């Protein structure tokens, strides 16, 4: 069943009608629902981008929100002239980031949902933050849709885009692979599948919409899950002394700017699962790097990730990671075909002293016959030397010598050579294709896609492809049989001894008899 949709009106520059099926089509060929009010029109990161009345300042707003930008609202008319709230909306990076960068809107990421940090089934209880989380292992090499459901997008689909939008702190915090610790401690992070972006969906409930949130739910939003609200009872010990005491709780519904159980090819509105391939379009927002340190004489003791993030901040001034907060649309998407598969390798290294990053990764080929075709790299840092990676069939070795903060991304592409020789029937060619149907020679059978003799039979050298129970004696079977000599078959009978015959005679038959050339021609087999 599709989730419940909100048709409650809100005060905007223009009111719009609620539609349960706005235009748009997903790549699964199922209709997708796009709210008439996007999440990016309501939220900027973890704060509201608008409030609910036309008060001239946030302190007098009906529902205030700390350090929030403000979206102009239609406030009615004065003497027939439309009136709007005075401030222009602008979504900026979180207040603890090194600069108030403007957020990137209509930012699209595609990739695989990771199990770590995934909120799972959306039909559940939420705390008062009203947030749904997931981490996505980023895929690149895909092409944006020419006419996507939300129009043109800013795609995260190339190495330069990764370098521009996915800082080293994402590798450290959400990839989380710390290696070579014996030599360099907490300075090196990354590897295969370490290019990860965090996602947080802001919900509309008491935590973000205030006590009266249910009366102004954004048009077209999806109902998932609930928040428990306490029920209070006033207890008085005398006419002058009363207090509110919690006596129970009640559940209230929450609303979301995107369907958290989007349509799938086989099940309508099913909960997302780890490992699924998705497209997410929304606000690319910079949040603070969450460096949790206590300043002891020896520096940061907040753990390995905190020490690494602190190093990046000290060397670059950078104090953020990238996330999509909040999405406007989450869709299930078909995975790219194996022939178009890309593997992304990412590294983040930071040290006051010179260090050497050496790492070998083993990848899973998209097809049995696949082999690595090329590896492109994009590296940035304060002082580094990045050697071209070496690679074999499905493994690659990376080497970077650096000092300070360094980030490197690599794009691994694949090639595949089909194999059909010796196969029978109609079978795969090892590259996702099929071999032409072929029959086996007479007396042979097709087993496991290969021609061969039935059990107990064999083919014999020099006898063609005929299967027989046993082979007649032949030179090369390891036995010096009748009719074979050291001269005619040294592989079975061994080398002939040195010739001891008198001049003009030889042991031509390998029998020890000294014969003339004429006798050799007449007697020897």
pLDDT score recorded for residue 224: 95
- State in Å, rounded, how far the first CA of the chain is from the last one: 88
Would you kindly state where each structural domain of the chain is located, as residue ranges? 39-49+91-332, 473-525
210 alpha-carbon distance from chain centroid: 36
Mean per-residue pLDDT for 88-104? 84
- At residue 23 the predicted structure's pLDDT band, cuts being 50, 70 and 90, is very low
pLDDT beyond 60 at 377: yes
pLDDT tens digits for range 108-166: 999 999 999 899 999 999 998 899 999 999 999 999 999 889 999 999 999 999 999 99
Buried b (16+ CB within 10 A) or exposed e, 106-135: bbbbbbbbbeeebbeebeeebeeebbbebb
pLDDT score recorded for residue 13: 29
pLDDT score recorded for residue 239: 86
Q: Which of 60-69, 184-193, 504-513 has the highest mean pLDDT?
A: 184-193
**Which range, of 123-137, 272-286, 311-325, 460-474, averages the lowest pLDDT?**
460-474
**Which range, of 53-57, 136-140, 272-276, averages the lowest pLDDT?**
53-57
* Mean pLDDT, the chain, integer: 82
pLDDT tens digits for range 408-437: 999 999 999 998 877 777 678 889 888 887
Distance (Å, whole) CA 210 – CA 42: 14
pLDDT beyond 90 at 452: no
Mean per-residue pLDDT for 342-351? 95
Distance (Å, whole) CA 525 – CA 522: 8
pLDDT score recorded for residue 86: 55
pLDDT score recorded for residue 28: 39
pLDDT beyond 70 at 512: yes
pLDDT beyond 50 at 8: no
pLDDT beyond 50 at 18: no
pLDDT score recorded for residue 167: 96
pLDDT tens digits for range 299-330: 555 678 888 998 899 999 999 999 999 899 99
- At residue 492 the predicted structure's pLDDT band, cuts being 50, 70 and 90, is confident
- At residue 15 the predicted structure's pLDDT band, cuts being 50, 70 and 90, is very low
pLDDT beyond 90 at 266: no
pLDDT beyond 60 at 353: yes
Mean per-residue pLDDT for 186-206? 93
Give, as one character, the DSSP assignment of residue 282.
E
Question: Which residue reads 């007479």 in tokens?
Answer: 442
CA distances from 392 to 379, 389, 395, 401 (A): 22, 10, 5, 22
In angstroms, what is the C-alpha Rg of the chain?
A: 36
**Which range, of 67-81, 149-163, 346-360, averages the lowest pLDDT?**
67-81
pLDDT beyond 80 at 390: yes
pLDDT beyond 80 at 204: yes
User: How many residues make up the chain in this entry?
Assistant: 525
pLDDT score recorded for residue 182: 67
Distance (Å, whole) CA 268 – CA 250: 30
pLDDT beyond 70 at 101: yes
- Residues with Cβ within 8 Å of 266's Cβ and at least 6 positions away in sequence, in order, are none
pLDDT score recorded for residue 440: 82
pLDDT score recorded for residue 466: 81
**Which range, of 130-134, 190-194, 497-501, averages the lowest pLDDT?**
497-501
Stronger pLDDT, 165 or 386, i.e. the higher one: 165
Mean per-residue pLDDT for 496-521? 76
- At residue 71 the predicted structure's pLDDT band, cuts being 50, 70 and 90, is very low
């Amino acid at each position: 069943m599709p989730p419940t949709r909100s048709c409650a009106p809100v005060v905007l520059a223009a009111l719009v009608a609620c539609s349960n099926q706005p235009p748009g089509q997903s790549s699964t060929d199922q209709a997708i629902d796009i709210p008439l009010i996007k999440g990016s029109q309501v939220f900027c990161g973890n704060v509201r981008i608008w409030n609910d009345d036309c008060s001239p300042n946030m302190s007098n707003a009906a529902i205030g929100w700390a350090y929030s930008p403000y979206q102009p609202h239609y406030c009615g008319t004065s003497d027939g002239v439309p009136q709007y709230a005075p401030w222009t909306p602008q979504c900026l990076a979180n207040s603890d980031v090194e600069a108030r960068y403007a957020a990137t809107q209509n930012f699209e990421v595609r990739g695989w949902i990771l199990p770590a940090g995934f909120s799972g089934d959306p039909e559940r209880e939420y705390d008062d933050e009203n947030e749904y989380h997931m981490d996505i292992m980023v895929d690149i090499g895909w092409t944006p849709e020419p006419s996507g459901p939300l129009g043109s997008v800013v795609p995260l689909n190339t190495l330069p885009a990764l370098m521009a939008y996915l800082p080293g702190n994402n590798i450290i915090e959400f990839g989380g692979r710390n290696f070579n610790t014996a030599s360099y401690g907490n300075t090196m992070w990354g590897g295969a599948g370490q290019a990860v972006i965090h996602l947080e969906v802001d919900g509309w409930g008491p935590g973000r919409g205030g006590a009266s949130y249910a009366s102004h739910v954004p048009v077209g939003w999806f109902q998932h899950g609930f928040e428990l609200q306490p029920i209070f009872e006033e207890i008085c010990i005398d006419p002058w002394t009363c207090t509110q005491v919690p006596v129970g709780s009640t559940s209230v519904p929450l609303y979301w700017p995107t369907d958290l159980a989007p349509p799938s090819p086989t099940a309508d509105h099913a909960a997302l699962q780890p490992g699924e391939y998705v497209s997410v379009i929304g606000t690319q927002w910079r949040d603070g790097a969450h460096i949790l340190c206590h300043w002891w004489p020896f520096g940061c003791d907040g753990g390995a990730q905190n020490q690494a993030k602190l190093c990046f901040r000290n060397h670059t001034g950078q104090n953020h990671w990238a996330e999509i907060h909040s999405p406007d649309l989450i869709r299930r998407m078909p995975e790219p075909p194996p022939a178009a598969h890309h593997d992304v390798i990412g590294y983040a290294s930071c040290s006051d002293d010179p260090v050497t990053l050496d790492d070998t990764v083993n990848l899973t080929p998209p097809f049995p016959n696949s082999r690595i075709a090329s590896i492109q790299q994009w590296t940035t840092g304060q002082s580094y030397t990045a050697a071209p990676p070496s690679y074999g069939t499905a493994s690659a070795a990376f080497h970077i010598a650096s000092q300070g903060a360094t980030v490197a991304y690599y794009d691994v592409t694949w090639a595949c050579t089909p194999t059909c020789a010796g196969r029978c029937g109609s079978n795969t060619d090892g590259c996702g294709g099929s071999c032409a149907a072929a029959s086996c020679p007479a007396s042979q059978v097709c087993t496991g896609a290969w021609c061969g003799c039935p059990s107990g039979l064999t083919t014999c050298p020099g006898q063609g492809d005929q299967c027989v129970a046993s082979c007649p004696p032949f030179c090369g079977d390891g036995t010096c049989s009748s009719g074979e000599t050291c001269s005619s078959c040294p592989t079975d009978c061994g080398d002939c001894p040195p010739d001891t015959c008198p001049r003009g005679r030889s042991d031509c038959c390998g029998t020890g008899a000294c014969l003339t050339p004429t006798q050799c021609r007449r007697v020897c087999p």
